[in-house]
Structure 1
Amino acid sequence: MSQRSQWDSRISFLFAMIGVAVGLGNIWRFSYVVYTNGGGTFFIPYLVAIGLLGIPFLILEYGLGFSFKKSFTEIMKSINPKFEIIAWVLVILTFIVTIYYMVILSWDLVYLISSFTFSWGTDTAAYFVNTIGGTTNLSDAATFLLPATVGVLITWFMMWFITNKDIDKGIGMASKILIPLLFIIMAIIIVYALTLPGAHIGIDALLNPKWDMLLDVNIWLAAFGQIIFSLSVGETLALTYASYLPENSRLTDNVLLVIASNSIFEICTAFGVFSILGYMTYTGGTPLVELITEGTGLMFIVFPMIFNIMGPMGHILAPLLFLAILFAGITSALGLFEPMVSSTFDKFGWSRRKTTTVLCIIGCVFSLILTIGISGYLVRIIDLFVNHFGVILLIPIQAIIFGWIYGLDNVIPVLNEHSTIKVGRLWKLIIKFIAPVVLFTLWIFGVVELFSNANSFEIILYTAITIIVLVSAVLLSRKKSAEN
């Protein structure tokens, strides 16, 4: 098996990890979650979720990756060969996330090009449907949305161009360039947004506390869910990146820096987003509640509508925003892709270039399928199933395997050796008891909501994904590793 790559510096690792954390969800999801879950009150469960789940689990992933210096599948196999299939299920699910994530990036690429001429016109909803999003009408599945199709080819080429190189020369170098640029661009947008007339309307609406909602379990579930998806907790991204760390690395210190950067970015971005929404309410007379949405609706329908009435400044802010989304998306996609690369690399013993080339071709083919006339609908339901049913179920299973079977005492000396901040009994208590309970609770609520709202087509798609993932995991786990 080929020698495992390493980051050449702590900065490379930190920027890569920040790139994983700071993704599309920070820009278009966090502000919506805050607003709909108690406003300023939401920050209490948000901070609790960071303390009880985000920090402890990322510390665990850093320690495991650094200790074993192997892919997630090989780590699970070394603990117990029967666990390899579980590992492959999670790695494949993360690869599926990469596949539809690249489709969303292709949408952003189309909008980045459109932002120079405002070719989305006055009916921004119709432009989204006709150009990239499609409809929910299954009869439209026979057509392709050409702009998104071309965008997928470009984004997957970008992925291959970065990942086929050695880890530091590829992902490390890209992260060191893109993350500072992302923070600079977002700082410009946020500062300007705060000066807009009516900005206070949006900020007041965002932060308005609803203290009685603290007793609502859904707010707490939303906070823990936000931390899981924002930090990619338990998705093996952090574990994989940590496996490339050189000796004498400060593991727990790095965790706190990454989480602090992520939280500062998404909180500041929320201020910027709601300042712009407040501006639209102030100048256009559209009630704020009618503008607030999450995800693609906010970025690809509401924001172009706002840019249309901004005048010359809109023509500056629009390209900057879609460029920022592209940078945030690429760095997160690199992290989502790497567990599959690392596991395949360890399993087959291929060169990194061959591994990334094969996986990029496979990923691109499946992403192209998702650019048919029901593209947005497919992306949405696959995202819900993979995350709310698959990924969240496997995270507490990891906590049980690593906490109860492997044993956290094996990781603590590695974590504490060079770190300023030490872990011990409290950290073990959280991983072994609190994290599994919280995560299984999240999974139960998510599954109930997922299947209670699903129609027959969605159930068929869920079943097909489950079969594909399980069969693939079984076949991969049965094949002998290259080192054997």
Structure 2
Amino acid sequence: MDERAQWDSSIAFIFAMVGAAVGLGNIWRFSYVVYSNGGGSFFIPYFTAIAIMGIPFLILEYGVGFTFKDSFSNIVRKIKPKFEIIAWMLVLFVFVVTIYYMVILSWDLVYLLSSFTFSWGTDAAAYFTQTVGGSSNLSNASFLLIPTTICVFLLWIVLWFIAHRNVDKGIGKVSKILIPALFVIMGIIVIYSLTLPGAEIGISTLLTPNWAMLLDVNIWLAAFAQIIFSLSMGQAIALTYASYLPENSKLIDNVLIVVASNSAFEIFTAFGVFSILGYMSATSGTPMVQLITEGTGLIFIVFPMIFNIMGPIGRILAPLLFLAILFAGITSALGFFEPMLNSTSAKLGWSRKKTATVLAIVGCAFSLILTTGISSYLVKIIDSFVNEFGILLLIGVQCIIFAWVYGAEHFLPALNEYSTFKVGRTWTFIIKYLLPVVLIVMWAIGIVTLFSTAKRFEIIIDLIIIVGVFVAAFAFTKIRAHGE
């Protein structure tokens, strides 16, 4: 392992962090969350969640990574050896995210290649289920979706090629290219979208406030959930990236830049998404409510339908959109991959190249299993379980370990030394008392919802994941660390 891995500048770190934060959720989830949770009034709980959870927790992660300058598993083991298994469970859950995230990216790559000829045809839904993402019909698990399988393999090679290099020459260099390119491409798409006939219908639909919904606790929970997933909070990504920072870094300033960039991107993108939906509504006469969806339905079914009726400009916007999603996805996938890579390398004493190679082979093998005819169904099951059960619970546990067992106040000198903005008692109170309560309540509500609606097959998949993660975490904990 390269003990002296370090970003060459704060710019490389900021681009890498923005890359990890800005992902598929910003493009295909945020606008739907705003619309379905009170429209314009949603921004009150949204900015509240940023202020009392997003910023404080990222500050904690930066402080921990920067102070210890070690892998996540080693940091937790240094604080209390008995907690090491918890650290391994988290990085393994995040590694599972990498595995299914690469499958979603492969769908996007298939669509990027299809966008040059519009080979999805007139029935975008049929193209997705038959060629790219499959369906929830379990009998389709017996065959592979070949375009998706090929693209998964290619994308894992790309991920390995970037990740096996030193962080600055790999992730840092790629992020400095892809993130500005992503912002430029999305800027072109959104600005053009605002000029489309019917754009004002879409924006009005998005922003019309429903003030009464502010009294619904679910709206507030939705805002907190969006911030957790949007900023990749508590997934050991920020902590790992911060451990590579040079000594004179302005930690709190960097947190504010990353959070502001992430929020600006997803709000800006939401205007573009709803402008295009407004155009479709005005052109086809389809009511907005029938077009509004999130995730795969929005990007891989609704948008191709819209590009089909756009004429020549659709031929330009389609490849740009799928390219933007690819750039956002690759930088996020690198972030998800890094905690497992860093922790495994530190534990086993392997070189970064060897660790990246082994993990990429393992990850690719599991991703390929998710390219059968029930690909999208499997991804949906795993995504819900890993985020709502695993990661959310472990974020709360991290709060307790770092704030209570180690002591949040111990991070204050490192956080404040070079930063323009300072933190103190208020931040410590939020981290120690407010956040653990909010996170545990969110987790409890999420678990009740998850298992009360789950089918037998979905519960079996959930159990396989938790057993696999626990066994692997136990094995990693029992292995004697390199150098001991």
TM category (shorter chain) comes to over 0.9
CA distance in 2, matches of 1:135, 1:65: 41
Identify the residue that residue 68 of structure 2 maps to in structure 1: 68
SS at match of 2:194: helix
Q: Would you say the 8 A contact 1:304–1:318 is kept in 2?
A: yes
Alpha-carbon distance, 1:162 to partner: 0.4
Q: Would you say the 8 A contact 1:341–1:356 is kept in 2?
A: yes
TM-score relative to the length of structure 2: 0.99
TM-score relative to the length of structure 1: 0.99
Match status 1:37 vs 2:37: yes
Alpha-carbon distance, 1:133 to partner: 1.0
For 1:403-482, what aligned pairs fall within 5 Å after superposition?
403-482=403-482
CA distance in 1, matches of 2:461, 2:116: 38
CA distance in 2, matches of 1:4, 1:455: 48
Q: % of aligned pairs identical?
A: 68
Identify the residue that residue 177 of structure 1 maps to in structure 2: 177
For 1:251-400, what aligned pairs fall within 5 Å after superposition?
251-400=251-400
Alpha-carbon distance, 1:2 to partner: 3.8
Deviations 1:303-358 (A, max 9, x none): 00000000000000000000000000000000000000000010011111101000
Alpha-carbon distance, 1:277 to partner: 0.1
Alpha-carbon distance, 1:132 to partner: 1.3
Match status 1:130 vs 2:130: yes
CA distance in 1, matches of 2:248, 2:259: 21
SS at match of 1:195: coil
CA distance in 1, matches of 2:142, 2:285: 40
CA distance in 2, matches of 1:243, 1:322: 32
Match status 1:226 vs 2:251: no
Ranges in structure 1 where 5+ consecutive residues have no aligned partner: none
CA distance in 2, matches of 1:455, 1:209: 35
Identify the residue that residue 90 of structure 1 maps to in structure 2: 90
Identify the residue that residue 210 of structure 1 maps to in structure 2: 210
SS at match of 1:165: coil
Identify the residue that residue 23 of structure 1 maps to in structure 2: 23
CA distance in 2, matches of 1:19, 1:461: 30
Ranges in structure 2 where 5+ consecutive residues have no aligned partner: none
SS at match of 2:413: helix
Q: Which letter does structure 1 place at the counterpart of 2:97? A: V
CA distance in 2, matches of 1:193, 1:460: 43
CA distance in 1, matches of 2:466, 2:173: 36
Alpha-carbon distance, 1:4 to partner: 3.2
SS at match of 2:422: coil
Alpha-carbon distance, 1:410 to partner: 1.2
SS at match of 1:119: coil
Alpha-carbon distance, 1:177 to partner: 0.3
CA distance in 2, matches of 1:90, 1:372: 27
CA distance in 2, matches of 1:72, 1:203: 42
Q: Which runs of 4+ in 1 moved over 4 A?
A: none
CA distance in 2, matches of 1:318, 1:2: 41
Identify the residue that residue 120 of structure 1 maps to in structure 2: 120
Aligned residue pairs: how many? 484
Q: Which letter does structure 1 place at the counterpart of 2:40? A: G
CA distance in 2, matches of 1:309, 1:267: 26
Q: Which letter does structure 2 place at the counterpart of 1:309? A: I
CA distance in 2, matches of 1:311, 1:396: 49
Q: Would you say the 8 A contact 1:2–1:350 is kept in 2?
A: no
Alpha-carbon distance, 1:445 to partner: 1.1
Q: Which letter does structure 1 place at the counterpart of 2:293? A: T
Superposition CA RMSD, Å: 0.6
Q: Which letter does structure 1 place at the counterpart of 2:438? A: V
CA distance in 2, matches of 1:230, 1:2: 30
Alpha-carbon distance, 1:483 to partner: 2.6
Deviations 1:138-162 (A, max 9, x none): 1111100000000000110010110
Identify the residue that residue 6 of structure 2 maps to in structure 1: 6
Q: Which letter does structure 1 place at the counterpart of 2:312? A: P
Alpha-carbon distance, 1:98 to partner: 0.3
Alpha-carbon distance, 1:212 to partner: 0.4
